[in-house]
């Protein structure tokens, strides 16, 4: 089905080997046949709750344009693939004509400054509440088990509440959800995006199928590793078949237990999933590490660090494509990851929120602006969103309206 073969067929494709692997965080990188990056500093997908009634606003144009560099890669905040896919107030979608038209303005602004932008496709599954669901229905999932009350959901008015109990999808319903991802990928292309990233991480719908701490199914989508990976791979097949593998990426988090999404053997899951993904010459594989959930949760300490190290050993030895890492990286740790060959790119969320010219700041080793966590998920179109300052030393991008760009390929870094 599409490029790369089918999940149900023998896997004989030869994925691309990552190019220029042992390089510098700020050096160019060829991301597959289509995209020449000028550096490896990527804007991570960061939910900001500014898309009023699920429609991107003019502030989105400014936010993404501010963070654009010529040849730099941006990944959008997560976009719902259907009306059932929401779990945050005022998060965007990519399933309606109005949403597509609004995102096109963002894409056009990024392209005008020479940037590359991927749209992240999202279905939250059980990580939702009836208030976000059509007709107040129960959220859908791989399971009927609710998220523990240890976790809470952000409600439209800003308060917190318990997640609603989900309804397990029947086998006959799953194909329709896969189709929603395919249509969302097509819509992303209509909006002009360069590619899409499938969100299969952090306890959302695809992750709910992947991990046996949540997936308690006894049909063809539950039980063995292969069956638990089936939904994820059917989504990959559908998206690749629609837009091509070179424009498709996926984000996974095998060893993260966000929202209680655990697995009894996360390293085996990592290895099996990588084996399946190796059949597709994807744009990149985006992995997040336990540091994603470290703040505010119990730190797993040495045990968690050992698990993370073991996961990265598997990835380095077994995955034959391009790798993006994410999870609390600093300039120094990102430099180390790229120079060691364990990553081709590093995505930054919080640091990129508060430093719109983050690649330039890294290049000149400038001081970083601290982020304000209290403004992460408000609906203000300016405060905590587009009002973070640019570096005073950035003569080429002194403000968000500048049409000048740092040429990272011509600068020398030590």
Q: How confident is the model at residue 297 (pLDDT cuts 50, 70, 90)?
A: very low
The residue with tokens 């929202």 is: 259
Pairwise pLDDT comparison (391 vs 393), residue with the higher score: 391
Percent of the chain's residues with pLDDT above 70: 86
Domains and CATH numbers, the chain: 29-375 (3.20.20.70)
Chain-centroid distance, C-alpha 404: 28
Residue 1 clears pLDDT 60, i.e. is over it: no
Least confident of 78-82, 171-175, 193-197, 287-291: 287-291
Determine the average pLDDT of the residues in 84-111.
98
The pLDDT value given to residue 209: 98
Nearest 5°: phi and psi at 216?
-115, 25
Pairwise pLDDT comparison (392 vs 35), residue with the higher score: 35
Q: How confident is the model at residue 405 (pLDDT cuts 50, 70, 90)?
A: very low
Q: Considering Cα of 295, then 300, then 306, then 311, what sign does the dihedral take?
A: negative
Determine the average pLDDT of the residues in 262-274.
96
Q: Tokens representing 323?
A: 């790798």
- Asked if 204 is an active-site residue, the reply is yes
Angle at 122 between CA 234 and CA 13, to 5 degrees: 35
Reported pTM: 0.90
Residue 13 clears pLDDT 50, i.e. is over it: no
Q: Considering 163, 204, 319, 388, which one is annotated as catalytic?
A: 204
Angstrom CA distances, 338 to 27, 281, 304, 323, stand at 10, 20, 22, 10
Pairwise pLDDT comparison (404 vs 204), residue with the higher score: 204
Q: Which helix (H) or strand (E) holds 333?
A: helix 331-339
Residue 323 clears pLDDT 80, i.e. is over it: yes
């Amino acid at each position: 089905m599409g490029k790369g073969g089918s999940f149900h067929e023998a896997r004989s494709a030869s994925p691309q080997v990552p190019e220029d692997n042992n390089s510098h965080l700020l050096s160019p990188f060829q991301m597959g046949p289509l995209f020449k990056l000028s550096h490896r500093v990527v804007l991570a997908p960061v939910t900001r709750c500014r898309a009023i009634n699920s429609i991107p606003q003019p502030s989105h144009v400014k936010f993404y344009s501010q963070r654009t560099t010529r040849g730099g890669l941006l990944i959008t905040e997560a976009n719902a693939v259907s009306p059932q896919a929401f779990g945050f107030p005022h998060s965007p979608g990519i399933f309606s004509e109005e949403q597509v038209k609004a995102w096109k303005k963002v894409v056009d602004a990024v392209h005008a400054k020479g940037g590359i932008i991927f749209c992240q496709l999202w279905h939250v599954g059980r990580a939702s509440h009836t208030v976000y669901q059509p007709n107040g229905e129960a959220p859908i999932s791989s399971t009927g088990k609710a998220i523990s009350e240890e976790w809470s959901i952000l409600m439209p008015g800003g308060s917190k509440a318990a997640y609603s109990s989900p309804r397990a999808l029947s086998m006959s319903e799953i194909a329709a959800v896969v189709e929603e991802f395919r249509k969302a990928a097509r819509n992303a292309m209509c909006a002009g995006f360069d590619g899409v990233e499938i969100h299969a991480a952090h306890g959302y719908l695809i992750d709910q199928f992947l991990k046996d701490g949540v997936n308690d199914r006894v049909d063809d989508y539950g039980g063995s590793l292969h069956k638990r990976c089936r939904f994820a791979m059917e989504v990959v097949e559908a998206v690749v078949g629609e837009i091509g593998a070179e424009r498709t990426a996926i984000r996974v988090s095998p060893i993260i237990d966000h929202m209680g999404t655990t697995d009894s053997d996360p390293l085996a899951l990592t290895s099996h999933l990588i084996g399946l993904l190796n059949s597709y010459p994807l744009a990149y594989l985006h992995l997040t590490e336990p540091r994603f959930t470290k703040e505010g949760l119990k730190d797993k300490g040495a045990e968690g660090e050992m698990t993370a190290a073991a996961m990265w050993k598997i990835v380095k030895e077994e995955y034959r494509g391009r790798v993006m890492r994410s999870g609390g990286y600093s300039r120094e740790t990102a430099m180390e990851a790229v120079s060691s060959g364990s990553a081709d790119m590093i995505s930054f969320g919080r640091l990129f929120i508060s430093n719109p010219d983050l690649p330039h700041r890294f290049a000149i080793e400038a001081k970083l602006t601290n982020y304000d966590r209290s403004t992460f998920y408000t609906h203000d179109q300016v405060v905590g969103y587009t009002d973070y300052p640019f570096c005073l030393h950035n003569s080429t991008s002194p403000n968000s309206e500048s049409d000048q760009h740092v040429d990272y390929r011509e600068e020398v870094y030590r």
